[in-house]
Structures are given as structure tokens and as C-alpha cells.
Amino acid sequence: EAEVVLVGRSNVGKSTLMRELTGHSFDTGGKPGVTREPNHYDWAPEDFVITDLPGFGFMSGVHEDHREAIKTGIVHYLEEYADNVLVAVLVVDGKSVIDIIDRHSGPDEIPYDVEMFHFLRELDVPTVVAVNKMDKVDDRDERLNELCDRLGLLPPWKQWQETIAPITAKNGQISSLEEAVRDHLHEQNRDDL
Ligand code: GDP
């Protein structure tokens, strides 16, 4: 069965988003780094499963080796199932993503989120960046333009509405994401004709 995958650093609101998308309730605020196995759920309105991959990146109390193992597991999963993945949703925290990206950008360092975005593109998996926690962001357009810039997409972000989807999962404001995902699904149906 075709799938939509969700990836993102821990604490960006992936479980909250999963709950909104599927109507299921998930462990939020659980111990970071514990979800090792991908979780699959039916996405009711459409005919595919949605897969929640473990959160990656820094988690307090989680050893670096363990963090690396989680990331490697995610990469292997995506490589193995890329052909089956209709859309990948990379979830980021709109409030902190620019700071985190800039802090980890350097001559021999690529921030996780940027790396994951490029990795998914290399695999030819259509990717939507769900920019969550927009309720905490005041300078919305500026922030989204900066994110485009960091991801190598030419601003303004409004040109990229199939790729950049600002959401507030906590309040159920996820329609931009649902639209972006649907756009990709329909594009692929057209390609198949
Ligand atoms: P996960 O680790 O990515 O699964 O993140 P969770 O879903 O557990 O959320 C982490 C924290 O972010 C929790 O305290 C959530 O209530 C909070 N959160 C999730 N979505 C939003 C949102 O849209 N806005 C705000 N302000 N907080 C959110």
C-alpha cells in the first residue's frame, strides 16, 4: 500500500500532527528517543497509510550513538521504501528552525533538516515541509522566506505552496499541509495516465 511518511526532529510536534491527521491519539510528551520503529496508520480520507518515523536530532538524555543509530535507521527506511512513498512530510518547528539551521551550518556541517530535505529530493520523493507552531511566529512571511533560502528554494515562499506548508498542529490548523499533500498525489496520478 502506498504511504505518506512523516519525518522530523524530536519535539517539533510530529505526534500532535499525526493525531490531527489520523484522529488517533498518540503518545505526546513521552520519553524522547524511545520510538524506534516506524508506526503505520490508515489515513481515512485517502487510500494510503501514513508512517511516523522516529524523531531525530538532539534529545536531552539520549546518547549521541543512539541518536546516530536512529538517524541511520530513518535513512535506511527511506532508501528501502522510496519507490512506495508518495509524499514525505518533513516537520519543522517554525519558531526555532532558522536558529537551529544557522547554528549548525558550517564548512563541514550540514543541519539535519537541510540534509534530510536534500536527501529526500535525491531519492525523488516529493517532499512537503510542514512548518509547525506558526502560532508562535510573529513575522510569518519573513520566517518562511528565510526557510526557503536555507533550503535552497528561491523566495518568496508563496511560490512554493506545494513545498512549504505553515501549520499550527496544536490548534488543528493543517489545511495548507493537506492541500500540499493532495496536490502531489494528484500530480502523480496525472503522471501515471
Ligand atoms: P514530537 O516529539 O515531534 O512528537 O512532538 P509533540 O507532538 O510531542 O509536541 C511537542 C510539544 O510541542 C508539545 O508540548 C506540543 O504541545 C507542542 N506543540 C505541538 N504542536 C504545536 C503547535 O502547533 N503550536 C505550539 N505552540 N505548540 C505545539
pLDDT digits (tens, 9 = 90+) for 73-104: 999 999 999 999 999 999 999 999 999 999 99
Q: What is the pLDDT of residue 48?
A: 82
Q: What is the pLDDT of residue 193?
A: 59
Residue 153: pLDDT over 80 = yes
Instruction: Write out pLDDT tens, residues 17-61.
Output: 999 988 877 665 555 555 556 788 887 667 788 999 988 876 778
Which sequence spans correspond to the domains of the chain?
A: 3-192
User: Which of 5, 7, 9, 11 to probe ligand 1 with, by most ligand atoms within 8 A of CB?
Assistant: 11
Residues having CB within 6 Å of any atom of ligand 1:
8, 10-16, 28-29, 55, 132-133, 135-136, 168-170
Q: Is ipTM > 0.90 here?
A: yes
Comparing C-alpha atoms, which of 89, 122, 101, 5 is closest to residue 57?
Answer: 101
* Average pLDDT of the chain to the nearest whole number: 89
Please classify residue 98 by burial: count the beta carbons closer than 10 Å to its beta carbon, then call 0-12 exposed, 13-18 middle and 19+ buried. Answer: middle
Q: What is the pLDDT of residue 191?
A: 66
Angle at 186 between CA 132 and CA 16, to 5 degrees: 25
**Cα gap 112→58, rounded to integer Å:** 10
> Does the domain at residues 3-192 carry the CATH identifier 3.40.50.300?
yes
Residue nearest to atom 19 of ligand 1 (CA): 13
